[in-house]
Structure 1
Amino acid sequence: MSWWRVSSPPVSGGVAMSSQRRARTVQPPPRPALLTRARVTPLLFILLLSLLAGWGVTLLLDPLNMPVRVVSVDGEIKYLDREGLEQTVAQAVSGNFFSVDLVRIRDKIERLPWVKSASVRRVWPDTLAVRVTEQLPLAYWGTDALVNHQGEVFKPQRLPRLPGLVTLAGEEAQAKRITKGYLSMRSLLETAGLALKRLRVDARHSWQIETEGGLLLDLGRRDVMPRLSRFVQLYPFLKDRADASLERVDLRYTNGFSVYWQAKTEQQSQMDSPSSGARIAGK
């Protein structure tokens, strides 16, 4: 029977070998060149698209490309000068079909005295469509202007002669209030068969009416509508005088009013007489 000793390798050597093997396992593999190319390619593509987009925008905004060639004007125009309107639009147009400033053009048009409002839009491929709403005059304002139904004062370069319009006068800052008062007073006077010719509000805010027949009504500063209503109720009793005609009524009193009469000539009295054929024919 034989025995032999098996000698084991040094422990330190085995540990060292194991450490070397573990170090080789943890070490990452080198990055391939393909991954780097995959990241660079999208960046180049985005850069190319940005350059193309910038070139396209520059091309579209160039005034020499796709210029505005036609301006069409729509809307019911009675007083507005079409030639002046077209000239205003032509001066306001800058840029091409895409870059033209529509808001700027609209603002330029709305500065024209006879224009109440305007709209501007693009119509492919080279047209600007302008729609204009013209001012509708309600009355003259003073001696050099007009006022619309909303109490907005506008001053045309040439004031036209418009038959049937009354004259309103006062501070321009009070135009809306005066216009509203005029509309109410006109309706009230019409119930008595009177037509308003002129309405004036002075610096003290005192109201005065002149009718088509030349009658003056002083209403004062307060309660102007109740005072005018009181006069309208009594007007049928005041006008029926054969020897005199109403000239002026002062309604500024709290509980009444004073009446000023204009004596008629003999010829006027005969025409106003109930037995006069002229008066019957005039009815």
Structure 2
Amino acid sequence: MKGRRFLWMSGLGLVLFGIAIWLLFHQELSSKRPIEEFHLSMELKELDRAQVDEVLEPYLGKSFWDVELNKIQADLVRLDWVSQAVVKRSWPDQLKISIVEQNPVARWGNDGLVNHKGEVFFPNNLQRFEHFVRLEGRIENSAGLLAKLAEFQQKLNEIGWTVERLQETANGVWEIHILDGPTLILDQQDQHHKFQRFLAAYPDLKNGFRKSAQVYDLRYSNGFAIKLKEAKASTLSDNNR
């Protein structure tokens, strides 16, 4: 019984040793195999395929096992429309590339776009995005501006207004530019109350004020001011609306 077990264990050991030798030999041969091609696993919408090819082509002919996947991914992410990139080896001589493109939801000033996470990126061509809402402010607060845009637009839906441009000034004042309409100016202090007060009062304003209004300044503690296009201003308090 012990002899049979010894023979069985010896045989198993030889088999495992043989497998280990084969794997080492196979990996040694494989490490010298060059990368012959790369394959994109999705269709590109905004990203130029030529840009991807330019990044990947220098890696063709490199060792299948020695090529640095993290470096390729980093090179791809530097492309203006790439949000994420994953590169994997595919035996025997292929790289598989998966790319997540940026999802723009707003403009950033004159030169950039803002994605759905509030991150700013700068593609080469912005022509198709001229109609997007424009955000302006500190780039480190881009996500905050995007959140404010959603907040303000939700409130302005009550009176049928659409934000065309939202700007946060250096002193924390918000300028809300309405599409084909006036501009709202709002500060940080008691902001929610001031905005709601304006929304409640707007339907009762005379048509002359509505048509001639260029700026609604909501920063007053007891009402808001209207700057007219004819450069005349009228201040409305809680008592004379």
TM-score, reference length from structure 1? 0.67
Match of 1:72 among 23, 27, 39: 39
Q: Report which stretch shifted further, 179-188 or 152-161.
A: 152-161
Cα 1:243–1:228 shift into 2, 3 Å: closer
In structure 2, the residue matched to 1:125 is: 92
Q: Is the 8 A contact 1:210 1:217 kept in 2?
A: yes
1:102 aligns with 2:72: no
1:137 aligns with 2:107: no
1:61 aligns with 2:28: no
CA distance in 2 between counterparts of 1:142 and 1:243 reads 28
Shift of the alpha carbon at 1:76?
A: 4.5
Q: Is the 8 A contact 2:35 2:59 kept in 1?
A: no
- Three-state SS of the structure 2 residue aligned to 1:131 is strand
Q: Is the 8 A contact 2:215 2:228 kept in 1?
A: yes
Deviations 1:208-252 (A, max 9, x none): 111012301100233434432322222222262389522111111
In structure 2, the residue matched to 1:276 is: none
CA distance in 2 between counterparts of 1:239 and 1:125 reads 76
Q: Is the 8 A contact 1:247 1:260 kept in 2?
A: yes
Cα 1:191–1:105 shift into 2, 3 Å: same
Structure 1 stretches of 5 or more lacking a match? 1-45, 264-283
CA distance in 1 between counterparts of 2:184 and 2:109 reads 19
1:175 aligns with 2:142: yes
Match of 1:86 among 53, 58, 70: 53
Shift of the alpha carbon at 1:97?
A: 2.1
Q: Is the 8 A contact 1:69 1:126 kept in 2?
A: yes
Match of 2:224 among 257, 265, 271: 257
Structure 2 stretches of 5 or more lacking a match? 1-16, 231-241
Cα 1:196–1:129 shift into 2, 3 Å: same
> Which protein has the bigger strand share?
2
CA distance in 2 between counterparts of 1:227 and 1:164 reads 29
In structure 2, the residue matched to 1:245 is: 212
Q: Is the 8 A contact 1:207 1:219 kept in 2?
A: yes
Q: Is the 8 A contact 1:68 1:128 kept in 2?
A: yes
CA distance in 2 between counterparts of 1:200 and 1:90 reads 43
Q: Name the % identity.
A: 32
Deviations 1:134-184 (A, max 9, x none): 111111101111111211000112333325301100110111111111111
- Three-state SS of the structure 2 residue aligned to 1:79 is coil
Aligned length: 216
Deviations 1:104-125 (A, max 9, x none): 1111111111111111222222
CA distance in 1 between counterparts of 2:210 and 2:29 reads 87
TM-score, reference length from structure 2? 0.78
- Superposed, 1:1-283 pairs within 5 Å as 57-62=27-32, 65=33, 67-91=34-58, 95-238=62-205, 240-241=207-208, 244-262=211-229
Shift of the alpha carbon at 1:57?
A: 4.9
> Which structure has the bigger radius of gyration?
1
Cα 1:222–1:96 shift into 2, 3 Å: farther
